[in-house]
Amino acid sequence: MQSLQILPLIVFAGLAVVAGLKDATSYTIPNWISLALIAAFPVAAVVGGIGWTAAGLSLAVGLGLLLVGMTMFALRWVGGGDAKLLAACALWMGLPGLAPFLLTTALAGGALTIGLMSLRSGWLAPVIAGGPAWVRRLGDKKGDVPYGVAIAAGALAALPSSVIGQALLN
């Protein structure tokens, strides 16, 4: 595989990891991450040679997930950064990677929630109390779930089955 072909995958993976880490440590996902994912998609599509039809379907998937994310945000199920990250990652997934992305994101979200419930159970209170501020925030019993972590995990796991992954890895 040529280095030019692997570069979009590295950019995607790097941005997804940064989004997950930022959400875990600050409960925020900066807009620049979602914008960078959106801006990098056309480059990845050209490098992968996916064609107009597949690119258009990917755009439709991204817009569809943006609407889903906006609805979830309006219902206060997720944060705004989560909704934008979900849509930006879905753009890269297209139709081939959508089901694996959503399924893996849901499973990762469940695992994350169970992990946070364990962390917040009280058994680890002495460890949490001595930890950095972001660990104390994660251990707060009234704290939220940084769902960007699950979205990033789902995106990374589904990347090989995504429209971009299939184009660049084959």
Residues 6+ apart with CB under 8 A from 121: none
Q: Tell me, what DSSP letter sits at residue 73?
A: H
28-49 per-position pLDDT tens digit: 999 999 999 999 999 999 999 9
Question: What type of residue sits at position 127?
Answer: V
pLDDT confidence band for 56 (50 / 70 / 90)? very high
Give residue limits of the domains in the chain. 1-169
Average pLDDT over residues 121-125: 78
Residues 6+ apart with CB under 8 A from 37: 12, 15, 16, 85, 88, 89, 91, 92
State the distance between the two ends of the chain, measured CA to CA, in whole angstroms: 9
Structural tokens at position 87: 């849509």
124-149 per-position pLDDT tens digit: 777 777 788 888 888 888 888 999 99
CB 81 within 8 A of CB 23: yes
pLDDT of residue 133: 85
Q: Is the pTM for the entire model greater than 0.85?
A: yes
Structural tokens at position 95: 């139709």
User: Which residue in the block uniquely carries the two structure tokens 């039809």?
Assistant: 53
Q: Could you give the residue ranges of the DSSP H alpha helices within 75-147?
A: 80-119, 125-129, 133-138
